[in-house]
Every structure is written in C-alpha cells, then in structure tokens.
Amino acid sequence: MILVEDKDIVVPGEILAEGEYYAGRGTFKDDSKICSALVGLVAIRDDKISVLPLQSKYIPKRGDVVIGKITEVRFSMWNVDINSPYSGILPASDVFGREKRDMNKAFNVGDILFMRVVDVDEVKKVKLGLKGRGLGKFRGGILVEITPTKVPRLIGKKGSMINMIKDHTKCEVVVGQNGLVWVKGKPEMERVVEKVIKTIETEAHTSGLTDRIRVMLNQLLDIEEDVNKEEEEDYKEELIQ
C-alpha cells in the first residue's frame, strides 16, 4: 500500500509505503515499511519507490566528470578541492607520464581543472585523471555553484536545457557532476548565464521549466541588447557633438 503520491514533498522518517515494494535511493526499509531518509520529492516507478533530494553534497563516483580547484602542490601529486566532503588527488604520473617535470609549471594552486574521477576506494580516497576528451585546465570564465542533485535538471533531457542556454548566449558552458559550472563568454553574457542557472536551481522541482527559462533568456537578452544600443547611440551623439 503506497501512502504518498508521486512528486509529494516528504521529510525524513515519513512512511512512504507498506508491504512488498522495492526501496530506491533516498529511502530505507524498516521491517515492511519503506521510509524516506531525506527531504525531497517522491518518485514512484512501478513497485520501486525513491526520494529525489532537494539538497545534497556531492559524493564522488567512479566515471563522473567534475570541476575542481587545485589546493596544494605536493611532491608527486596535486590536491584538488572538488566541492565534496572528500578532496581529490591528481597524480603527476597521470599528467606527465613517465618523465619528470616541474609540477608548479603544469598546474598551480587556484587553477580550475575539468577532470574525470578515475577511482574511489573504500576509505573514499578520490583519484582523478585528465585522460579524455575536453578534460584539462580552464582559462578565464566564471564558476557557478549549484546543488549537485540539480545537475540533471540543468542539463535537461538529452542536453535540451544546457544547449538552449549555449545557443542563446553564445557562451561556453561546462557542467561538472559535483555541481560546479564553468561559463565563458562575453562578460555580460556570463552574468546572464549565472542568473539563469541560479533560477534553474531554485525552481528545479517545478514542471515546465525549460519553457519558462526560454522566456527568461529572451527577456534578459533583450535588456542586454537595449543597453548596448543605448550605449552605441550615446557614443554616436558624443561623436557628433
């Protein structure tokens, strides 16, 4: 017997169902009862009940692509902050291969990198790697932080949301599974993208979001264009005078 409906907001300890159901993510089983472990939205798929969290920390998983910041340069590896309870390490051998070079010249403290999680062991030591398409160091641009659980929403179905943002603003946008988003483009466009991403984060649990974001993007871009036009006109007037 299911006691809640799809997309209901539940709190930890709330009983979701009783009987022969499968406890999915964000839930746990207590005798025959399935209870929520999180504040989140209920998702019912056949006889599997799960709760999608509204807020969480990023827990590293093998194969994820993440954005991180170098926090320390050590003898043969870099320590990387990946916006998670567990910091990552990037071994020098992964970057240089066999040869030895100056670590500081490759990456220094504060550099932003796009990496793949190569391995996570049982004590949550996170090994990172740079082998793969598009992985490496970012130059310029801004970082935007969102809750990792909202990353799928930002990307959209088959990238619909993220591609729409890219097309409208002509910005490069890279999303890490750990909730960090790197944006590079014209400075005013970067600001538009940041605003849009923050809106997606706060409204992630509502439906029909892609359409609303499209409207918002158009509005924001119109304002930008108006400002640009005004500036141009002012400039022209100055020239005439």
Partner 1 sequence: MINIITNRDLEVKSEAKGSERPDGRAYNELRPLKIEAGVLERADGSAYLEFGDNKVLAAVYGPREFHIRRFLKPNMAVLRCRYNMAPFSVEDRKRPGPDRRSLEISKLTSEALSPAVFLEKFPRSSIDVFIEVLQAEGGTRCAGITAASVALADAGIPMRDMVVACAAGKANGQIVMDLSEWEDKEGEADVPVAIMPRTGEITLLQMDGQLTKDEFEQALDLAKEGCMKISVEQKKAIKNRYGGD
Positions in the binding site for partner 1 (CB under 8 A): 9, 11-15, 26, 28, 30, 35, 37-39, 53-57, 59, 85-87, 123-124, 147, 149, 205
Tokens read off for 75: 């003898």
Nearest distance in Å: CB 37, partner 1: 4
Tokens read off for 74: 């050590």
* CB-nearer residue toward partner 1: 48 or 166: 48
Question: In the sheet that 48-53 helps form, which strands lie side by side, from edge to edge?
Answer: 9-10, 40-45, 48-53, 22-23
Nearest distance in Å: CB 57, partner 1: 6
Contact between residue 202 and residue 162 where contact means Cβ atoms under 8 Å apart = no
| DSSP β-ladder status, 40-45 and 48-53 | antiparallel
* CB-nearer residue toward partner 1: 21 or 168: 21
Nearest distance in Å: CB 203, partner 1: 10
Nearest distance in Å: CB 52, partner 1: 11
Cα-flanking dihedrals φ and ψ of residue 109, to 5°?
-55, 130
Rounded Cα distance, 107 and 176, in Å: 19
Nearest distance in Å: CB 89, partner 1: 13
* CB-nearer residue toward partner 1: 197 or 217: 197
List beta partners, residue 175. 181
Tokens read off for 20: 């022969």
- Furthest-apart CA pair in the chain: how many Å? 83
* CB-nearer residue toward partner 1: 126 or 162: 126
User: Within a 10 A sphere around the Cβ of 132, how many other Cβ atoms?
Assistant: 12
Nearest distance in Å: CB 134, partner 1: 28
Nearest distance in Å: CB 235, partner 1: 39
* CB-nearer residue toward partner 1: 35 or 175: 35
User: Measuring CA to CA, which residue among 190, 146, 176, 132 is closest to residue 56?
Assistant: 146
Question: Within its chain, how far is the Cα of 42 from the centroid?
Answer: 22
User: Measuring CA to CA, which residue among 166, 144, 145, 142 is closest to residue 155?
Assistant: 166
